[in-house]
A and B are shown apart, each in its own frame.
Chain A
Amino acid sequence: MEKTFTVSIFTENSIGMLNRITIIFTRRHLNIDSITASESEVKDVHRYTITLKTTREKIDKVLGQIEKLVDVIKAFVHEENEIVFQELALYKIKTASISNGEVEQVIRDHHARILSVDPLFMVVEKTGHVADTQLLFEKLKPFGILEFARSGGVAVTKPMKELSTYLKELKVK
């Protein structure tokens, strides 16, 4: 059965890492839903967060092949209930559309905030899961959305171990 999985990959900071990781998904004809990359809590260790829909069997095999990459320190796969996951969305709308009060109500109802206001347009920011940012999108749509962007997800895991423990183990060796 297909489910949404979040893969967290910790790697050395070397050129081409993203490519090395994504070709493993490509080879198995898996489509990545979202991807983000950043430095992790450990200096010089980079973190990739990838979400996709697939089966447990497939993702376990993919994980094995990712971990086999020389520059990958450790990779983890989590289901939705094992992580705290967040995305960010930006909505560019006409400043004029705020005048009737309805837009303001929508923004308040969705706990979104206004990032910037220009005489012609304004930018609204909303964090949440895809469903949340999508709902706001639908609500703002009637007023005209000039531009919309949604980030990939960032996630931290619920269990209190993972990378730091693993790195310590590596150092002990």
Chain B
Amino acid sequence: MEKLTGAQAVIQVLLTEEITTVFGYPGGAIMPIYDALFDYSDEIHHILVRHEQGAIHAAQGYARVTGRTGVVMATSGPGATNLITGLADAMIDSTPLVCITGQVSSKLLGTDAFQETDVIGISMPVTKWNCQITRTEDIPSIMAKAFYIARSGRPGPVLIDITKDAQFGVSDFSFEKCTHIRSYNPTPEIDYSSLEAAAELINQAKKPMMVIGQGIMLSEAEEALRTFADKSGIPVASTLLGLGAFPCNHPLFVGFVGMHGDYAPNIKTNECDLLIGIGMRFDDRVTGDTSRYATQATIIHIDIDASELNKIIPTDVPVHADAREALLFLTHLVKERSHESWVNEFKEAKQTEVETLSKGYANCDTQDVRMDEVIKLLSNLTHGESIIVTDVGQHQMMAARYYQYNKTKSNVTSGGLGTMGFALPAAIGAKLGMPDKDVIAIIGDGGFQMTLQELGTILQSKIPVKIVILNNNFLGMVRQWQEMFFERRYSFTEMISPDYVKLAESYGIQAKSIASKTDLEDGLREMLDAKEAYLLEVKVVKEENVFPMVPTGASVSEIRLA
């Protein structure tokens, strides 16, 4: 049998798992693994980031657009703790990651050794699974388990902490992919009677609607969903993370639900007689006040994670299943129907929204650029076919509202955790995962300044991502809340930006700054036509608000248009 060092074994496992891209940052405790990686730079493309948080967000972006597992490497201590935000983000947004951290030698564990930290303890609440390896011979089987757990069932991040002596040690190497763990059942056996009950409700419903989430993409149920929607005639609304799973230009697509979602699906939530949640988790930003959420409706909830069923919204028919399998089966059981007048009600509500919002814009019709205009134009110019990576805040909601996501896995954003600083590194990962697609990061001035060091990664690895900074010199979403709920007391939300053009240029990235409507289209076209990375700063209206809005504590049907 082949003898390998632990470090070499790690690399062999990555090769067997067909990992071609790794995001990381070397340091003392992971040096043996980096040394082993050095011999495989043709097979494994290692992206050297500028901060470990950048590595993990990049891996998330990569995983979200490819559906494959993102891999991260970091050293012990600060290297490992810098991953925590990304782990929490990947955990709540169900993103498959395997993070490999170096650890001090096993004999030093617990002694406060240099760069020692209890990363297993720290990361426990924010990983799907984690494990410390102190023996070389355990590396292949535990790594195999890590990849199996990360991707199966409801995906999530796994962290493997490997002590330096285990990396240096030598052991026989044999690798077998993990396909079963006694205590873990990621693929539930479908209870067909629950689907039959669901189908009966669907066949009787007069005003049914679907709310889909990222689960559609995670289970590759896009086509199954389209077939089901076309046959059943049920309108489809989406959560933030579900955008793209069902084409925005499909006649049955009725918009995005939640706090800053569209007017129509929010008010119709409280008018429908049947609500079918698929691969979504009734997040509080989706439901508003849960005691007044779709109480008139019968609820069907399909999810692969049993603990999500009945967690937030009492469900009449919980279906513990993979979304694709459930939809395929349901399609057979449901009658071919069309709900024309019901779907038209959504269109009418949409019209109300458009008219009310445009009245609001009429008052500020100057040369100043609004965020929504940037997104609408970008959407038209790219035909809704680019990969859009957003950060967190007003620009994120504008992008979700006005970009026409027509392709699956084209919307990458930090949904559950709301991590500012996510977009720039995530866009790097997305571009590496989908090099033939246009990847456009849309970021606010606040979020951009949280991880702008990753411009260095773009420079070094020549990653042709496009970056749009919507700069309003404010932490805009917090400012909006201060305006609406804190008597305009703008407590520490005004923010001064550096000269982004000079900044980008210092990293060898082409850049331009525009501040007027007349320059917008040319500016966006120039950015889109660029063959290399490009940064476009758009100075936007300082105090624009995102509407519609469901204020905290309100019911979704109390959504405000102004």
Structural contact, B124 and A70, CB atoms closer than 8 A = no
Listed stretches B176-184, B241-249, B282-290, B366-374; interface member: B176-184
Structural contact, A72 and B132, CB atoms closer than 8 A = no
Interface size on B, as a range, is 10 to 19
Structural contact, A19 and B311, CB atoms closer than 8 A = no
Structural contact, A67 and B306, CB atoms closer than 8 A = yes
Structural contact, A64 and B306, CB atoms closer than 8 A = yes
Looking at the assembled complex, report how far the CB atom of A82 sits from the nearest CB atom of chain B, in whole angstroms. 21
B128 at the binding interface (Cβ < 8 Å): yes
The dominant DSSP class at the B interface is mixed
B125 at the binding interface (Cβ < 8 Å): yes
B481 at the binding interface (Cβ < 8 Å): no
Once the chains are docked, how many angstroms separate the CA of A45 from the CA of B304? Answer: 26
Q: Contact flags (1/0) for B122-134 with A, using CB distance below 8 Å? A: 0011001101100
- Return the contact of B125 from the options A27, A64, A72 (Cβ within 8 A): A27
Structural contact, B306 and A72, CB atoms closer than 8 A = no
Q: A20-B124, A70-B129 are in contact. Are A12 and B307 (CB under 8 A)?
A: no
- Return the contact of B307 from the options A14, A16, A19, A65 (Cβ within 8 A): A65
Looking at the assembled complex, report how far the CB atom of B458 sits from the nearest CB atom of chain A, in whole angstroms. 36
The dominant DSSP class at the A interface is helix
Once the chains are docked, how many angstroms separate the CA of A67 from the CA of B188? Answer: 13
Structural contact, B149 and A70, CB atoms closer than 8 A = yes
Within 8 A of B (CB), among A1-46: 11-12, 14-16, 19-20, 23, 27
Q: A61-B311, A70-B129 are in contact. Are A23 and B183 (CB under 8 A)?
A: no
Within 8 A of A (CB), among B92-137: 120-121, 124-125, 128-129, 131-132
Structural contact, A170 and B124, CB atoms closer than 8 A = no
Residues of B within 8 A of A162 (CB): none
Structural contact, A23 and B129, CB atoms closer than 8 A = no
Once the chains are docked, how many angstroms separate the CA of A62 from the CA of B122? Answer: 21
Structural contact, B121 and A19, CB atoms closer than 8 A = yes
Within 8 A of B (CB), among A37-84: 60-61, 64-65, 67-68, 70-73
Structural contact, A61 and B183, CB atoms closer than 8 A = no
Once the chains are docked, how many angstroms separate the CA of A70 from the CA of B311? Answer: 19
Q: A70-B129, A73-B183 are in contact. Are A23 and B306 (CB under 8 A)?
A: no
Once the chains are docked, how many angstroms separate the CA of A60 from the CA of B309? Answer: 11
Structural contact, B307 and A67, CB atoms closer than 8 A = yes
- Return the contact of B120 from the options A16, A67, A70, A72 (Cβ within 8 A): A16
Residues of A within 8 A of B307 (CB): 61, 64-65, 67-68
The 4 closest A-B pairs by CB, nearest first: A64-B307, A73-B183, A70-B129, A70-B184
